[in-house]
Structure 1
Amino acid sequence: MIPLRLSVRNFLCYRDDVPPLDLQGIHVACLCGANGHGKSALLDAMTWCLWGQARTGSRNHNSLIAYGETECRVELDFQAKGQLYRAIRRRRSAGQGRTELDLFVLDDAEQPRPITGNTLNETAARIRNLLGMDYDTFVNSAFLLQGRSDEFTRKTPSERKDVLSSILGLDLYEVLQAAARNKRSEWQDNVTRTEGALTQTKTALDELADPTDELTVIERRLTALASELDAAASEASERRASVEELRRKRAELARAEQRIATLREDIERTGAAIAAMRQRIEHAKAWSDRANEIDAGAQQLAAARNELERLESLRREYDRLHDQRNELQVAIGREQAALSAESAELERRIREELEPAAGRAKSIADGLAVLADAEQDLLAEQQVIDAQTADATELQGSIAVAQGELERCVAEGKELRARQVEMSAAGALCPLCRTPLTEDACGNIADWYESEIAGKLRQHGEIKEGLNGLTQRLEELSGDTDRRRKALARQQRQTQQERGRLEQEKRQSDGAGQQLTALRPHLAGLQAALAAGDFAADERVALGEIDDAIAALGYDEASREEAYRLTQSLLHWDAERRDLDAALARLPGDEVELRQNEDRADRWRTELADAEAGLTADLAAIAELPEQERAAEIADAALAGLSRERDDLLARQGRLQADAERRRGYQTEIIRLQSSHNSAQTEQGIYAELFGAFGRSGVPAMLIDAAVPHLENEANHLLGRMTDNRMAIRLETQRDNRSGNTTETLDILISDELGSRNYELFSGGEAFRINLALRIALSKVLSQRLGAPLPTLFIDEGFGTQDAAGRERIVDAIASIQDEFEKIIVITHLDDLKDLFPARIEVLKTEAGSQFWLS
């Protein structure tokens, strides 16, 4: 991973006005600045953007947000595997906090194309795949984190071996071992399943008897049954045909009996219809004899109805005119009532509201005059309060001056006391010539300071006493002013309320006088109109016209009632006329229908005689039916017995044939399961061997053993340059345990001119050089695993443990390996060290946050 461009916003000590850090074109550079100014924060920004981890760990992301802000953002352009990428990570503190991660690939024009995953974890996994390492591998190889340069050295042998495995890319073998374990388990399960299935199948085969002999016996009996069934079926068929023929005749006999009963009912019903028809014809002829009488009565009814209709028409007109007369009378009464109500309301309003309100005008004017005098008194009181307020302001100024003098007096007293103590000490210098003072001179100066301090104390007491007096006067004046102001506010509110009430009453009184002037003439006019009946003129004229129309109509209710009674007495002629017309209309049809019914009755009597004669012959034919039915039942029972025997034999044959087929299937399945079981055992053995080969003591141990000499040589090469070949590192991958067996390990043995010693016994400077050599060696191993020079090396602090010669050797060692890295960034706060680097990234912390620039 080669960092190319870094942008931060509100990240740790950096705010939102930080320009991007462009690292393109930089090979070896020093990131410098005072401690706490934000050097390591820039490296934290890179690791947090790529792996979501910084020195704060992988959980407390909110602590990375600048103080007082709610969101931080880091954007990093980097190169990995020859391609440019851009990662953007954001953190919001709202709620439980939320982290967002976006990944882009940059084309030749540096235009981003998103390749972000569906989830944050998916995107983080893509970044790890691009970089070929996780955060722990990075900080144990290419990144010497501040205060953690011994990260690799301090780990246990097992943890160091894990780090080296990660650097060598041996994580793949863990995946392969897990896959081999799963496949071994799968094939073991397959072996177990096939063994169980094989046992079950063999047991099932043993439990199933061979049905061959029984099948042969069944087939012979089925052949004999075929001819017996044919003979029984033929006899049963003939018997059933005889029974069916007799049953058909019995059914025809029943139908003949039903037909005879039906004919007798039809003859009886037709005879009744003929008698009724003859009676209706005679009744119609009797109506025909009264035709003249009924016509005369019908004419009288028509004349009476015409007269009644004429009188009903006059009655409707009379009712309409009478309704209009009533409506006009109601309208005239309604107008009179409205005028009376308006007159009474005006009279009441003038007497009860307007005259009393107009009479209060003088008392209201007197009240307003008294209120004006009271308002003048309130203005005078306001002036007194304003004067007291001005006095209080002046007293506050005096108090502030006195407090300043008191503080100045205290400060001067403290300064005199400090100088007194300074001059009283042995070896004190003269404040003027800066020469040592004698003991007597020191005592004289101390006495002078004591006198000055006493004067300051007296001055302090006088100022304090005056300040207390001013404060007391201010409190008394403020209390009196507050009381006056509250009383004045209360009186002003009361005065304002009283003025509002009086002015409202005055407006009401003035309005009442004006309304009296206008309403009195109107009331007199209403009373005069009511007395003279001078209202509803149009309605009165219309009422006279309607009375004249009613008189001209000449309608008499008694004549209408007489006509109604006459019409009701003649209504029976209307019914008799309808009955006459109906009888005459039905007479021709009734005579035709009578003749038809008489002919139909004759035909049915002839058919009845024939049916009764045939019934006697059919009764003799069906006498043999019970005997034939018993014979048919015996033949059917014999046939059913043979059929059941055949069906039972066929069912048994089918079951035995199925058993034979199952036996053949079991035999075939046993052969297949045996083959599958053998194959599964073979596969299980293969994956068991692979599981051991991919384990820690297998191929990974061989690769680590192959890499350790190279790691040891690279570390010793650098350590020799930094220590004038005084120190050397030896790495051991195996050691004997107490039981005499060999244990896989990764121990670090360090030697110098005094011999081998534990790492903890070396000085801080020596330990840093050991750690630096190992970490750079690990970085080179990592670069070999990636198949290209390791892009970037970060060294964060650690030079403070070195003397000048040691720092020069380390810088010389860094210079010797610079061609093996694309970028080397060294972080330090030492001014004499930063001048040794060709490029510097200066960091400075200000009140507005940290800033950086290239120089």
Structure 2
Amino acid sequence: MIPLQLTLKNFLSYREASLDFRGLHTACVCGANGAGKSSLLEGITWAIWGESRANTEDDVIHTGAENVRVDFEFICNNQQYRIIRTRQRGKGGSLDFQIASSNGFRSLNAKGLRSTQDLITSSLKLDYDTFVNSAYLRQGRADEFMQRRPNERKQILADLLKLEQYEELANQAKDLSKLYKGQMQQLEESQDRLKEKLQQKETLITQKKGVVQEIELLQKAQTQAQERLKQLQAVQHQRQNWQQQLSWQKNQYENIGQESKRLKIEQSEVENKLAELKKNLSQEEEINLKYQQFMSLQQKEESLSAKFPTYQNLQQQKQKLEQEIFKHTNELKLQLQKNISRLENLQQQEQEVQQIVSNSAEVETALEKLQECRQRLSELDQLQHQVAPLLQRRYTLTREIEGRKARLTAKLEQLQEEQVKLFIEIDKVPEVRQEVLTVDSQIQELEKKQVYQQRVKEKGTERKARKKQLEDSQVIIEKQIQDLAKKLDLLVIPEATCPLCEQELDEHHRDHVIAKTQTQQREMQEQIWQIKESIAVCERELQCLRSEYSQLTEELIAYSSLQQYFGQLEAQLEASGDIKIKLTKIRSEILEIEAALSSGDYAPEGQNELKYLEEELKNLNYEEQTHAIVRAEEKRWRWAEIKQAKLEEANRRQVKINEEKPNLLERIYFLETELEELQKSSDIQKQIEAVEQSLEELSYDAIVHQNLRATIRQEQKAQFHYQQLQEAKQQYPQWQEKLKAVEQRLKFQQDNAATIQQQIDQTLMQIESLEDYAEVIEELELTIQNNREKLDDLLAKKGSFEQSLQQIESLKQEYIDNQQQLKEYKKQCRVYKELAQAFGKNGIQALMIENVLPQLEAETNQILSRLTGNQLHVQFLTQKSSKTNRQKAAAKLIDTLDIVIADARGTRSYETYSGGEAFRINFSIRLALAKLLAQRAGTSLQMLIVDEGFGTQDVEGCDRLIAAINTIASEFACILTVTHMPQFKEAFQHRIEVRKTNEGSQLILSH
């Protein structure tokens, strides 16, 4: 990655800044602490990966700003890119990834910010962690690579070497191995099932033979049963025929009985009908009279019905004519109304025109004033062209002066707020002092108790020593008593010698010695009693001292926390001194700002230029107020032009009105005349009068017609009774004939019933002469049915066995083919399993890391030897034992990436080296990593950043670092070093000076 251009806006300490990297090879980014040197480099990482040292995403936005934007152009893999990242405070951000083309930059954005970020990382083939662990030695994090766990170091190195492709191949090989393993397992299960089926062949052959024997026996028994069934069925068939004949005869007998009953019912109905007809015939005169009256009413109704269509037609004609005359009347009224409205409109327009024309003199006067205003306005416009640049500059200067004043005011308010806060802190000082005194008194009390506890402890020690002395004295005296007892035992013996001088003792001397010895024994026994009493006293005192010591220990538990709290309070009191100093400084600043604001002593250059501009404007004697008044006056008289145009338009309208008004009056008179004629003497009105005359001549009354129809509906039953009478005259002879026929058929059915009863008796005698084989036949049929079902089952079993045997024959080839396929699956599974291991972390990846580590180690030691004068040496270990010393017999090696550091005194841990030595070690490893990546073809890393690496070094160490950087400079496109130490500026080709101003950090590029 080769940087080309970095543009910052509201990023951390920068308001607006831009840095062009073109032409920069080795450059030093220098400036005071806090000037914004690291922020410049953080802008690169934030633009590419959205990562920075800020705790939250909004912290990268400059104080007081609402948004941030960073543009970064660079070259990667011979292709120019540009990344634009922005963010709104409290809201989301945006990311634009662009690539250079012949028509400028075009966007490569994916769907969503995260997808675009992934696209950037994949295009650079470098993520943030890898970058900060190789080519970017961040301020305070130069030991980033060393502080990582061994397995994380190995993963970082793997990412740098682009070993993820082998990891992908390993995962693919694992997936294929699992696939073939699953297929192999499925095939093995299938083979087991096939093997079980093939082993069933002999069993199936034996079972088939048994089924064939059962089929032969069952078929023979089935033939015998069928022959017996045929014989019995012939006899039973004859018996069934006679039974069917008997059943038919019985049915005939029942049918004849039912027919006889029906005929009797029919005979009764015919007799009833004849009686009814005879009753109607008896009312013939009355029915004929009512029928004649009904016919008369019907003739009247037919006469009225004949007039009704004519009446209806005349009514429709009348209605149609009335609608037509109503339509013409409405049309004429509508036209008349339109013409009247138009006439009224013309009259109104004529009034307006007369009003406009009446103001013609006033309009001419206003036009003259308008010309005068426009001439004056033209003169002021020319003067304004001269004054406008001066006014613009005056406005700019005024804004700058006001801005300076506003910044001073804002700073004054900020300082006043800080002053109030400091006053609040100072007000808390008495409370803190009182708290300090309280805590101090508590600590003094505890210290006194601590001294007393020490005294108690010393007293207890003394009592223990006294008790020990007494116990030792008791032991000595008890031993002396035992010696005296032994002496007495010797003195009791006759002719005993003196136990002291070993001379012979006479009786007197023996008694004297015995008495003396007994006296000593008694005295010693008294001493023992005294000693025991003293020991008991000491034990009681020790118990009291122990209890008191335990109580004091519990009371002294709070001593350490009180001391810590006391230290915090003292720190607050010490800070109060700093607060007072700071308050004094703030007060002086407030007084200076207030003096500047009150006297106006700020932005002197701007104020001087402003005075000069005021004099120039005064000489030109241009007043914008006068210009505005003249312009307003010109606008005020513009109505004259509008009125003049309206006056001309009014004259034209008056001509048109004079032409149109007589025609409208004539048209209105004509429409009124036509409307009056239409309602009195028009053809349509005459037609209406003729239709009304025809209706009078027709003499048709709809109400009379309606009442007549109601009467006819009421008398409708007379016609029905007349029809019934006519039908009765016709039907009475027919019903008499029908009664005779029914009586004859009834006699015939009774004769047939007697004949069929004789036939039934004969058929019963024939049935009784044959035996009933129905149950035997049913049992035979059931037996034959069961045998048939068994035979079907046996034949099905035989077919199933034959099919199974055929299937087994076909499964043999499938089993052989599956065996071949199984061998192939095992081979593929083994191959891909070995490939997964080969491509995995313990295969090619570990091998590549182990191959590159010697080069990395040699390069690191080469750089480290320059930096330390051959005093330090590093070694990379990729494996270590997984067991303790007691388990070394079964120890296994595990993968790691430990870094062993050795000096003249031997191997030591990384933490024991000084800050300068640790940085040289870190710098050597990181520099070797960057150099290694630059040499390898797999990455495009061509940039090295060293942030604040000289602060921990002495003069000799800094010289060695600079020499090491210059040595590898040819292998990188851009090397940036960051330092706040001014004595190292001249050691680099270019210098990027960072200065902190009120407008934010500023960049100055120098050679």
TM-score range, shorter chain: 0.5 to 0.7
Larger displacement relative to structure 2 (68-77 or 668-677): 668-677
Cα deviation code 1:259-297 (max 9, x no counterpart): 4433332232122112111111112335558999x99xx
Retained in 2: the 8 A contact 1:38–1:850?
yes
Alpha-carbon offset, residue 166 of structure 1 = 2.5
Which of 160, 164, 167 is equivalent to 1:167?
160
Distance in 1 (CA, whole Å) between partners of 2:802 and 2:749 is: 70
Structure 1 residue 141, shift from structure 2 partner: 0.9
Deviates more, 1:102-111 or 1:587-596: 102-111
Q: Which residue of 2 aligns with 1:266?
A: 266
Query: Within 2, Cα distance between the matches of 1:812 and 1:631?
Result: 131
1:643 to 785, 792, 795: 785
Per the alignment, in what secondary structure is the counterpart of residue 144 of structure 2? coil
Asked whether the 8 Å contact 1:86–1:105 carries over to 2, the reply is yes
Residue deviations 1:380-419, cap 9 Å, x none?
xxxxxxxxxxxxxxxxxxxxxxxxxxxxxxxxxxxxxxxx
Match of 2:105? 111
Native 8 Å contact 2:212 2:798 kept in 1: no
The 1:109/1:267 distance shift into structure 2, 3 A limit, reads: same
Distance 1:606 1:783 in 2: 136
2:36 paired residue among 38, 46, 67: 38
**Distance in 2 of aligned mates of 1:621 and 1:113:** 115
> 2:988 and 2:728 mapped to 1: Cα distance?
142
2:745 is equivalent to residue 598 of structure 1 = no
Q: Are residues 635 and 846 of structure 1, via their aligned partners in 2, closer, same or farther at CA, if it must alter by over 3 Å?
A: farther
Contact 1:229/1:643, CA 8 A, preserved across alignment: no
Paired residue secondary structure (2:921): helix
C-alpha distance 663-728 of structure 1, shift in aligned 2 (>3 A):
same
> 1:794 — aligned with what?
945
Change (3 A) 1:110 1:275: same
Q: Residue 800 of structure 1: SS of its match in structure 2? A: coil
Which residue of structure 2 aligns with residue 137 of structure 1? Answer: 130
Q: Distance in 2 between matches of 1:290 and 1:44?
A: 126
**Gap change, CA 1:610 and 1:780, over 3 Å in 2:** farther
Aligned AA (1:217): Q
Secondary structure, aligned partner of 1:165: helix
Residue of structure 2 in register with 1:81 after alignment: 77
SS state at 1:779 partner: helix
**Partner residue in 1 for 2:140:** 147
Identity %: 31
C-alpha distance after superposition, 1:178-231 (max 9, x if no partner): 555666666666676666776677678879953212331344356557767876
1:586 to 720, 724, 728: 724
CA distance in 2, matches of 1:850, 1:657: 99
CA distance in 2, matches of 1:851, 1:839: 16
Q: Say if 1:185 and 1:574 are closer, same or farther in 2 by CA, change over 3 A.
A: closer
State the partner residue of 2:53. Answer: 55
What's the TM-score once normalised by structure 2's chain length? 0.48
| 1:205–1:663 Cα contact (<8 Å) kept | no
Which letter does structure 1 place at the counterpart of 2:843?
Answer: G
Structure 1 counterpart of 2:968, from 817, 837, 844? 817
Write out per-residue CA displacement over residues 431-460 of structure 1, whole angstroms, 9 at most, x where no aligned residue: xxxxxxxxxxxxxxxxxxxxxxxxxxxxxx
- Say whether the 8 Å CA contact 2:260–2:749 is kept in structure 1: yes
Given that residues 166 and 839 in structure 2 are in contact (C-alpha distance below 8 angstroms), is that contact kept between their aligned partners in structure 1? yes
CA distance in structure 1 between the partners assigned to 2:824 and 2:89 by the alignment: 59
The 2-side partners of 1:596 and 1:37 are apart by 139
Q: In terms of mean alpha carbon deviation, does 620-629 or 144-153 score higher?
A: 620-629
Say if 1:284 and 1:583, in contact at 8 Å, map to a contact too.
no
The separation in 1 between residues aligned to 2:259 and 2:186, in whole angstroms, is 82
Task: Check the 8 A contact 1:711/1:778 in 2, yes or no.
Answer: yes
Give the secondary-structure state (helix, strand or coil) at the position aligned to 1:772: helix
SS at match of 1:827: strand
The answer to whether the Cα contact below 8 Å between 2:860 and 2:925 also exists between their aligned partners in 1 is yes
Partner of 1:126: 119
Measure how far apart 1:252 and its partner are: 6.0
Gap regions ≥5 residues in structure 1: 299-572
Change over 3 Å in CA distance of 1:32–1:202 after alignment to 2 = same
AA aligned opposite 1:796: D
Aligned-partner Cα distance in 2 for 1:273–1:631: 57
Of residues 712, 716, 720 in structure 1, which corresponds to 2:857? 712
Q: CA deviation at 1:798?
A: 0.7
Aligned to 1:782: 933
Correspondent of 1:701 among 846, 849, 852: 846
Note if contact 2:11-2:60 (Cα within 8 Å) is conserved in structure 1.
Answer: yes
Q: CA deviation at 1:587?
A: 1.9
What is residue 831 of structure 1 aligned with on the other side?
982
**CA displacement, residues 634-666 of structure 1 (integer Å, 9 cap, x when unaligned):** 545533431232123323443565466568768
What do residues 474-501 of structure 1 show as CA deviations (whole Å, max 9, x unaligned)?
Answer: xxxxxxxxxxxxxxxxxxxxxxxxxxxx
Deviation, structure 1 residue 101: 5.0
Indicate conservation of the 8 Å contact 2:218/2:787, yes or no.
no
SS in 2 for 1:798: coil
Whole-Å separation in 2 of the counterparts to 1:252 and 1:143 = 123
Q: What amino acid does structure 2 have at the position aligned with 1:31?
A: V
Q: Is the 8 A contact 1:33 1:844 kept in 2?
A: yes
Kept after mapping to 2: 8 A contact 1:4/1:77: yes
The CA distance in 2 between the partners of 1:278 and 1:679, in whole Å, is 114
Letter in 1 for 2:855: H
User: Partner of 1:169: helix, strand, or coil?
Assistant: coil
Contact 2:277-2:732 within 8 A present in 1 as well: yes
AA in 1 matched with 2:268: E
Residues 187 and 683 of structure 1 are in contact (CA less than 8 Å); yes or no, is this contact kept in structure 2? yes
Measured against aligned partners, the alpha-carbon deviations of 1:491-520 in whole angstroms (never above 9, x if no partner) come to: xxxxxxxxxxxxxxxxxxxxxxxxxxxxxx
Contiguous gaps of at least 5 residues in structure 2: 298-710
CA contact (8 A) 1:789 1:820 kept: no
Matches within 5 A, 1:381-530: none
Please list the CA deviations of residues 150-191 of structure 1 after superposition, one character each: whole Å capped at 9, or x if unmatched. 222344544433332232233444555555566666666667
Question: In 2, Cα distance between the equivalents of 1:53 and 1:798?
Answer: 21
Q: Which residue type is aligned with residue 927 of structure 2?
A: I
Q: Aligned letter for 1:795?
A: V
In structure 2, what residue type is equivalent to 1:587?
Answer: L
> SS of the counterpart of 2:146?
coil
Counterpart Cα distance in 2 of 1:233 and 1:107: 105
The 3 A distance-change label for structure 1 pair 124 and 585 is same
Task: Give deviations 1:592-623, integer Å, cap 9, x for gaps.
Answer: 13233334444444444444444555556664
Task: Name the amino acid aligned to 1:274.
Answer: L
Q: Aligned pair count?
A: 573
Q: 1:124 and 1:234 mapped to 2: Cα distance?
A: 100
* Inter-CA distance 603–37: structure 2 relative to 1 (3 Å threshold): farther
Cα distance in 2 for residues equivalent to 1:291 and 1:746: 134
Distance 1:228 1:846, change over 3 A: farther
Letter in 2 for 1:280: N
| Corresponding residue for residue 594 of structure 2 | none
Q: CA RMSD in A?
A: 4.8
Aligned partner letter, 1:705? E
Deviations 1:695-730 (A, max 9, x none): 544333321221122212333444455556665544
Amino acid in the other structure paired with 1:819: S
TM superposition shift of 1:144: 1.2
Q: Report if aligned partners of 2:864, 2:921 keep a CA contact under 8 Å in 1.
A: yes
Which one-letter code corresponds to 1:792 in the other structure? Answer: M
Distance in 1 of aligned mates of 2:1001 and 2:150: 40
Q: Are 1:105 and 1:115, in contact at CA under 8 Å, matched by a contact in 2?
A: no
Given the two structures, how large is their TM-score scaled by the length of structure 1? 0.56
